[in-house]
Structure formats: C-alpha cells, structure tokens
Amino acid sequence: MKNEKEYLFDNPRNVQWLMRGFYACCAVLLGLELVVHRHTEHTWEGLVGFYPLYGFIGCVVLVLIAKWMRGLLMRPEDYYASQNAVGESESLGEGSSKGETAR
C-alpha cells in the first residue's frame, strides 16, 4: 500500500472538504428560496421548503422501502441456475424409482 501513489480521495481531508462544500451548497439553495421570488404553478409548490423536503423524505422512504423489499425478494445469486440442477436431479430420482416399481 505504501509504495502506491496516493489518490485524491485517499486523503480523508479532501473528502471532508468535498462534504463541507456540499453542505454549504445545500444551505445556500435553501436560503435562496427566501430571497428569490418563485413563480409556482401549484399550491404545493409554493410551500416553503417543498422541494428540498420532498427530495429528502422521498429518498429516505425510497431506500427504507427498498431495504424492506430485500427481505421479500432477495435470493442467492445462483437462484435460477440452481433451480435447473435441482429439477434435473429430482427427475432423475423419479426415473430410477419408477424403474424399480416396473421391475
């Protein structure tokens, strides 16, 4: 690791700066809403902080629902591949038992 070149985000300080810049952008965007007059087409749009709140809450809800969906829908990676193998071995088993009854 030591002899390898250090890249931009290997230094935690750079990441920190990036995040600070990002938080500052969010704050500025929130503040601008109070300064700039917006021409809204819909009453919901006119509410203060509608877009930021909707974006934030929407995404949190999205991720939480998706996590819950994982519990229902997630299967091992070879789920469909293994199905064929199981099917074949089952049918083989059936065949041999049938052979026995025929005898």
| Binding to other proteins, residues 7-26 (CB under 8 A) | 7-9, 19, 22-23, 25-26
What is the C-alpha to C-alpha distance for residues 98 and 92, in angstroms, rounded to an integer? 10
Closest CA to 33 of 17, 52, 14, 7: 52
Contact of 44 with 50, CB cutoff 8 Å: yes
* The only residue of 11, 14, 16, 53 in contact with other proteins, by rule CB under 8 A: 53
- Residues in contact with other proteins by CB under 8 A are 7-9, 19, 22-23, 25-26, 29-30, 32-33, 36, 38-42, 44-45, 51-60, 62-67, 69-70, 72-81, 83, 87, 90-91, 94, 98, 101-102
